[in-house]
Amino acid sequence: MKELTDSAPALDDTETLRARLSDEGYLFFRGLLPAAVVDDVRTRIARILFDSHWLAPGTKAEELMASDRAVEEGSAGFFGAYTAIQSTEAFHQLAIRPELLDLSARLLGEPSFAHPAHICRIAPPSPGANPTPIHQDYRFIQGCIDTLTTWLPLSAAPPEIGGLRVLSGSPRLGVLPVKPSDGPGMMRAEADEEHPEWRTATYQPGDVLLFTSLTVHGAMPNRTRQLRLSADFRYQAISAPMAVDALGTGKPHYHPDVPDFPTLTRGWSSTASIEVPPGVRFVDRFDPRLDEVLTPVSRFA
């Protein structure tokens, strides 16, 4: 599998970044975020997992060694620990780091904001847990085709622990058909898993992978004994439409299995990280399992 191209040297060259995003469908930045900030969030989450008995007895929390209590996302026993993570202000604050907001605004060419449904991925070892199948975000996010996703490793993520892979150039395929699948999202895009343009990296805390809503991507199996921690944050222009969520717009990830934000944010210093700006226009959703979905026009096409 090929290595991701590091765009950190071109960070200040917006036109080069836009051209690369249009051509390859992703941008990868080594060390975009301060590692100490990401390490602090990981430490907080590791403590929650330790207290929830997700980590092996007799090991240190920072080692992230999985116990037999570590379960697949969304399954029985998942939501206690996940609610505690979703109650952690420092995790949500990562989504509105100036490095990420500035980057998304420059790429989109106008003011942007982070979607409130910030996602923490906790990937137990395989085969006990299924990795996220290859997919395109557009069927899940909907609303604006030019919604950008950032994937952040919260712990070191070499390929063997199930780091993310992307199919370079895949946005040119348009919205792909899907079929049912195991793993988070429960849908798999019908794309070539053996294509030579799949790319990944040995990720470190502070690295950021950004991609478009049409970029085919997915996790690899976790072949270690550790948990892999990562975060998904999504950004769109304030002027663009946002899809109405079936369970309520502006809700936490996995609501209502996870409580609403008024409960999660008790004791926080600020709720700016989970607020939708005034004036955002909302549109209805379509069934993401439809066989055919028209591909909207994108500024990155």
Q: What is the pLDDT of residues 183-228, one digit of tens each?
A: 887 899 999 999 999 999 999 999 999 999 999 999 999 999 999 9
The closest of 136, 155, 153, 133 to 221, measured between CA atoms, is: 133
pLDDT of residue 183: 80
Task: Match 């109405």 to its residue by tokens.
Answer: 244
Confidence of residue 126 (pLDDT cuts 50, 70, 90): confident
Q: Are residues 84 and 120 in contact, defined by beta-carbon separation less than 8 angstroms?
A: no
Q: Above 80 in pLDDT, residue 174?
A: yes
Cα separations in angstroms, 28 against 6, 10, 223, 293: 5, 11, 24, 28
Distance (Å, rounded) from C-alpha 124 to C-alpha 203? 17
Mean pLDDT of 31-41: 98
Out of 4-8, 22-26, 186-190, which region has the weakest mean confidence (pLDDT)?
Answer: 186-190
Give a yes or no: residue 207 inside a domain: yes
pLDDT of 247: 60
d(C-alpha 265, C-alpha 88), whole Å: 8
DSSP-assigned states of every residue in 181-200: -SSTTSEEE---TT-TTEEE
Confidence (pLDDT) at 151:
98
d(CA 42, CA 229): 8
The b/e string for 94-118 (b: 16+ C-beta within 10 A; e otherwise) is: bbbbebbbebbbbbbeeebbbbbbb
Residue 290 within a domain: no
Q: Tell me which residue of 235, 253, 190, 234 sits closest to 216, measured CA to CA.
A: 190
Residue 299 within any structural domain of the chain: no
- 8 A C-beta contact, residue 110 and residue 239: yes
Report DSSP state, residue 171: G
Instruction: Please give the helix or strand (H or E) that residue 3 lies within, else none.
Output: strand 2-3
Cα distance between residue 124 and residue 107, in whole Å: 34
Residue-number span of the structural domain to which 130 is assigned: 2-9+16-283
**Has residue 295 been placed in a domain?**
no
Question: Quick one: average pLDDT of 52-71?
Answer: 96
Q: Which residues contact 223 (CB under 8 A, 6 or more apart)?
A: 125, 126, 160, 161, 162
Name the percent of the chain lying above pLDDT 90. 89
Task: Look over the chain and give the mean of its residue pLDDT values, rounded to a whole number.
Answer: 95
- Structure token pair of residue 217: 């991507």
Cis amide leading into 127 (omega within 30): yes
Q: Looking at residue 13, what is its pLDDT?
A: 98
Number of domains comprising the chain: 1
Question: At 66, which CATH number?
Answer: 2.60.120.620
pLDDT at 250 over 90: no
3-state secondary structure of 164: strand
DSSP 8-class letter at 220: P
Closest to 87 measured CA to CA, from 123, 61, 48, 34: 48
Please give the DSSP secondary-structure letter assigned to residue 135: B
- Within a domain: residue 298? no
* 299 strand-pairing partners: none
Residue 291 lies in a domain: no
- What value does the mean pLDDT take over residues 237-245? 93
Secondary-structure breakdown of the chain: helix, strand, coil percentages, each rounded to the nearest 5: 25, 20, 55
Confidence bin at 31 (pLDDT 50/70/90): very high
Within-domain flag for 289:
no
206 falls within a domain: yes
Whether 45 shows a pLDDT value over 70: the answer reads: yes
What are the phi and psi torsion angles at 149 (to 5°)? -110, 135
